[in-house]
Amino acid sequence: MIEPIVNFFDKLVDDFTWRRLSLLLSAIIFVAVSLWIYESYTGSFKLGKLEKQLVLLEKLSDLSNYEPIQNNPTLSATYEALSLELNSLNDTGFDLVSISREMKQAIAAVLPWLAFALILLFMPAENNSSAIAGIAIAAIPLSVIGYWIPPLEESWVNYALYPITSFVVCMYLVITWQRKKENA
């Protein structure tokens, strides 16, 4: 079961190719983004933490009126330390991924182009490098435009409609231009 994974990493080191490395990095990025999206939509990890905090808070509130704790200085100090620890869990403090709305829009605008570039990367062809350069030339201005799109009431317009429509329109224009160039 683990042997194919070990063989993949063995080939990555022994028979190094940029395709294998990019495949590995793509898979890692895909898993990380998938987990981030899952947590963004469900809040599963955060809700689990909140449920545990509520159980602890309930137990601590039951102990607050317990007379042996109030009379014993050691138990009272332990109770206070537990209360402070529970209170510190509520302090989110540092947000690992804090991305502005504009940056999310720019990332959404560039995602179809990145997906297309990854597909091209794994296709055997002689002129893939020029195609990827063309993708970059198209993706950069469209992501800048995506950054500056004003916030709309319906967020799916900024995060789905604009990126997909701009990608489809650009691809249509490129294909049309190529056909006219071949016919001339």
**All structural domains of the chain with their residue ranges:** 45-90, 99-184
Average pLDDT value for residue range 8-22: 74
Surface-to-core class of residue 145, CB atoms within 10 Å of its CB (0-12 exposed, 13-18 middle, 19+ buried): middle
Average pLDDT value for residue range 1-27: 75
CB–CB of 109/145 below 8 Å? yes
H runs (alpha helix) in the chain = 3-14, 18-42, 44-64, 67-71, 73-90, 101-121, 128-148, 155-156, 162-183
**pTM > 0.75:** no
**For the chain, first and last CA: distance in Å?**
55
Which residue is listed with tokens 């469900």?
A: 42
pLDDT digits (tens, 9 = 90+) for 158-168: 888 999 999 99
pLDDT more than 90, % of the chain: 6
More confident residue, 148 or 11: 148
pLDDT digits (tens, 9 = 90+) for 90-113: 655 545 567 888 888 899 999 999
Average pLDDT value for residue range 129-142: 83
pLDDT of residue 89: 62
pLDDT of residue 92: 54
How far from 104 is each of 76, 99, 134, 159, CA to CA, in Å? 48, 7, 23, 8
**Smallest Cα–Cα separation from 99: which of 152, 136, 30, 147?**
147
